[in-house]
Amino acid sequence: MIDFKLTEEQELVRKLAHDFAVNEMRPVARYYDETEEFPWPIVEKAHELGLLNSVIPEEYGGVGADRVTETLIAEELFYGCAGMGTSLMANNLALTPIVIAGTEEQKERFLTPFTEEPLMASFALTEPEAGSDAAGIRTRAVRDGDYYIINGTKQFITNGSVASLYTVFATLDPSLRHKGIIALVVPRDTPGISIGKKEHKMGQRASDTAQVVFEDVRVPVANRLGEEGEGFKIAMKTLDNSRAGIAACAVGIARAAYDDARKYALERKQFGQPIANFQAIQFMLADMAIKIETARLAVWYAAWRADQGLPHTKESSIAKAYATDMAMEVTTDAVQIFGGYGYTREFMVEKYMRDAKLMQIYEGTNQIQRLVIARHILKELM
Ligand code: CAA
């Protein structure tokens, strides 16, 4: 049977995240967007409330949230502010490879500190010349006894300059493509790591995006997740989990824009009456509601399949592509409903629209999601 009723615990977590988004994130969202400062006070409060690192299992001191609960948190945090939300959710992305592929000892060593203090982590896969083609990474790992020596540059790394831990994907031999890739956990204080260019972005400006450079960085073999050659699959499995979360984040941004547009349509008067009286506006609002509700269903379905241990690669990509395209449409329409005012910084809708654009790009562009979906649906007939 299908049951959309959330558990009592899920309802509580959802409310906790919603209140945090409205009371703590929203009042400072414009400030961090304009200054591009890293929102440490928000990170600290989120950590105190258990809204950071929700993927860490209970046995390592975390809350061990299931995937559905994670999407509830993600939607609410992005309802608060997408930039700050990305900073917070990127920790889950970076720690998931350890959760899914780490040994007991590695989990204890790397995850536990994150439950004790508000630390940041980064998922370091993308490179200047390897974005969509993740198997084409060039960061080299050369074995030297009990160590790997890492050399290379990682690009567009969320939390890159503030992280205390990186999950790094490197290749033992680029000619082997995905079969040569390893996943390594690399603490920030390892000699040879430096921060390159910090990006100034169109939106999500409260999140930190930087180049991370590895020069002769010696990483113990004991920090490798899984076996040699398993790194690519660890990255793909991680993204299978995180993409439904990204879709939930997009629902959160769209909901924020929709709420503001609905309220504005009832207040703004033209031709002697609220613009909400006009069918042109009503239909736009109705379309927003249709899109938000259907996107959330796709998100919950993908997350539910993950929680059931069912294959969910295709469903996560469907949710990611659909919800993030939806957020772009809804936020653009929200600006339209605000008219000229929507294009100014007096209202938040312009920020939602800028923030939404990144959702179609990161964690796999929506073209890559369609490629993943196409490969699955065609294979189903073979
Ligand atoms: N789970 C498990 N294994 C998987 C898998 C999955 N989801 N997807 C692929 N694999 C396996 C395949 O079965 C294959 O294994 P075998 O050799 O044993 O058959 C192997 O991995 C290689 O698969 P492909 O041939 O499909 O690989 P490909 O080179 O064609 O690439 C791709 C596939 C889907 C395009 C992949 O490169 C991809 O996802 N690219 C996008 C990268 C991406 O999402 N980057 C996001 C960076 S993180 C980020 O953005 C975060 C942030 O800022 C907040």
8 A C-beta contact, residue 359 and residue 325? no
- Please work out whether the CB of residue 315 comes within 6 Å of at least one atom of ligand 1: no
Atom of ligand 1 nearest to the CA of 239: 44
Q: Tens place of pLDDT for every residue, the chain, 382 residues?
A: 578 899 999 999 999 999 999 999 999 999 999 999 999 999 999 999 999 999 999 999 999 999 999 999 999 999 999 999 999 999 999 999 999 999 999 999 999 999 999 999 999 999 999 999 999 999 999 999 999 999 999 999 999 999 999 999 999 999 999 999 999 999 999 999 999 999 999 999 999 999 999 999 999 999 999 999 999 999 999 999 999 999 999 999 999 999 999 999 999 999 999 999 999 999 999 999 999 999 999 999 999 999 999 999 999 999 999 999 999 999 999 999 999 999 999 999 999 999 999 999 999 999 999 999 999 999 887 7
Number of alpha carbons in the 13 Å side-chain half-sphere of residue 69: 21
8 A C-beta contact, residue 153 and residue 187? no
Strand, helix or coil for residue 181:
strand
* Sequence-ordered list of residues with C-beta below 8 angstroms from that of 77, at least 6 positions apart, any chain: 17, 20, 21, 25, 46, 51, 84, 85, 88, 89, 249, 252
- Please work out whether the CB of residue 232 comes within 6 Å of at least one atom of ligand 1: yes
Residues facing residue 152 across a β-bridge: 214
8 A C-beta contact, residue 251 and residue 327? yes
Instruction: Tell me the CA–centroid distance for residue 265 and ligand 1, in Å.
Output: 43
pLDDT tens per residue across span 327-380? 999 999 999 999 999 999 999 999 999 999 999 999 999 999 999 999 999 988
Instruction: Tell me the CA–centroid distance for residue 180 and ligand 1, in Å.
Output: 14
Other C-beta atoms within 10 Å of 112: how many?
14
Q: How far apart are CA 352 and CA 349, in angstroms?
A: 5
Largest CA distance in the chain: 79
Residue nearest to atom 8 of ligand 1 (CA): 236
Q: How far apart are CA 145 and CA 132, in angstroms?
A: 33
Atom of ligand 1 nearest to the CA of 240: 7
Other C-beta atoms within 10 Å of 243: how many?
28
Q: How far apart are CA 323 and CA 38, in angstroms?
A: 27
Q: Which amino acid is at 281?
A: I
- Please work out whether the CB of residue 313 comes within 6 Å of at least one atom of ligand 1: yes
- Please work out whether the CB of residue 38 comes within 6 Å of at least one atom of ligand 1: no
Strand, helix or coil for residue 231:
helix
Instruction: Tell me the CA–centroid distance for residue 91 and ligand 1, in Å.
Output: 20
**Can 363 be counted among the known catalytic residues?**
yes
Q: How far apart are CA 313 and CA 369, in angstroms?
A: 10
- Please work out whether the CB of residue 364 comes within 6 Å of at least one atom of ligand 1: yes
- Please work out whether the CB of residue 126 comes within 6 Å of at least one atom of ligand 1: yes
Q: How far apart are CA 210 and CA 32, in angstroms?
A: 17
- Please work out whether the CB of residue 14 comes within 6 Å of at least one atom of ligand 1: no
Residue nearest to atom 49 of ligand 1 (CA): 363
Opening angle at CA 145, ends 140 and 149, nearest 5: 25
Number of alpha carbons in the 13 Å side-chain half-sphere of residue 161: 17
Mutate to test the pocket of ligand 1, among 236, 237, 357, 368 (most ligand atoms within 8 A of CB): 236
Residues facing residue 184 across a β-bridge: 168, 224
Residue nearest to atom 48 of ligand 1 (CA): 363
Residue ranges and CATH numbers for the domains of the chain are 8-120 (1.10.540.10), 122-228 (2.40.110.10), 232-379 (1.20.140.10)
